[in-house]
Amino acid sequence: MSEWLYRFRKFTGFTVREYVRSGRIVIEILAMLAALWLLFWPRSSRPISSEQFFGLGGLVFLGISAYTTLIVMRMGYRPQNYVVLFRSLGRAGYLAGLYTATVLLVGMIYLLLSVLVAILHSNSLPFSFGGWLLGSLPLLLNVMIVAAFMTLTAPLVVSGRLRLVLLALVLLALSQDRDVLGDVVGGALGPIQTILGLPLMPVLGGFNLAVQHSLSLAALGIMLAQVVLAGLLLAVALLAFERRELILQS
């Protein structure tokens, strides 16, 4: 296990370094600066609220997380990775490394945003360091869930057909308007939609928790559900990747 962890850690570091050195990180930095300017810049005498920071910040970072995962997975799909994949790192170490690198990159950008917001609002910061931690943890767990889902649906991991099925299930889970489908179809889809919507509960719960940034037993339960959901999505992605026929694309 320690051997595997060593190789995994090295590959994660390698991916993060490549992402930063190749300049891809600039997009995330620009997005973060844009969010800082548009959402958190001190424009009036009214101080920033914690709802504003964790609520809007949470949404922005879900988007950044989806984008970064997309790009990291695309990096992992290039033919230069044949010389990485045949090594004893293995497919599990490879995919887990790409995923962890994504989460680390988004985490770093989030940390940078937090520091900049803290500097800009140093006189009127609405939360302590502990409050920031309590708000950030569920927010970052949501980042992990989004990254795991994007990993699962990446072309590196699943074929085009399976990806379409997964995306259709997500659309079904998210769709609100069943009336257009008629009584019979809409009624039949209801229970399915409810089941498919279950994984969204930890995400939404985590979002609320980030805004409230309070510690309670329920909060711990929500965070545990977030961890389980991210872990499940990643486990399915690893399983799919183990069975995937690899023809890396240029």
Partner 1 sequence: MSQTPIEQPTTPPAIEIVDVHKRFGALHVLRGLTLQVKKGEVYGLLGQNGAGKSTLTHLLLGFLQPDSGRIAVMGSAPRAATKIGYLPERVRYHASFTAREYMRSLGAFSGLREPHLSVRVDELLDQVGLWMAGNRRLGRFSKGMLQRLGLAQAIIHSPELLLIDEPSSGLDLAGQRDMVELLADLRAQGLAILMCSHQVAELETLCDRVGVLRQGRIVAEARVQDVLATTGVLITVAEPLPPLAISELSVLSRSIDINEQTVVVTHDERLQRQVFYKLLGYGARIVGVRPAGGLTEFFMRATRGPEQDQPVRSTAAKKPYSENIA
Give residues in contact with partner 1 (CB under 8 A): 3, 6-7, 10-11, 14, 17-18, 21-22, 78-80, 82-91, 93, 245-247, 250
State residue 87 phi and psi, 5-degree precision: -80, 175
Return the sign of the alpha-carbon dihedral for residues 31, 116, 16, 160.
negative
Nearer to partner 1, 211 or 240 (CB): 240
How far apart, in whole angstroms, are the C-alpha atoms of residue 194 and residue 207?
Answer: 20
Q: Hey, is 121 helix, strand or coil?
A: coil
Nearer to partner 1, 178 or 244 (CB): 244
Residue 9 Cβ vs partner 1, minimum distance, rounded to whole Å: 9
Give the Cα-Cα-Cα angle 238, 95, 10 (nearest 5 degrees).
Answer: 140
Nearer to partner 1, 17 or 181 (CB): 17
Residue 98 Cβ vs partner 1, minimum distance, rounded to whole Å: 13
Nearer to partner 1, 56 or 84 (CB): 84
Residue 109 Cβ vs partner 1, minimum distance, rounded to whole Å: 19
Whether 241 contacts 91, CB under 8 Å: yes
Residue 245 Cβ vs partner 1, minimum distance, rounded to whole Å: 5
How far are the Cα atoms of 101, 123, 201, 226 from residue 22, in angstroms, in the given order? 14, 37, 37, 32
Residue 112 Cβ vs partner 1, minimum distance, rounded to whole Å: 21
Nearer to partner 1, 71 or 118 (CB): 71
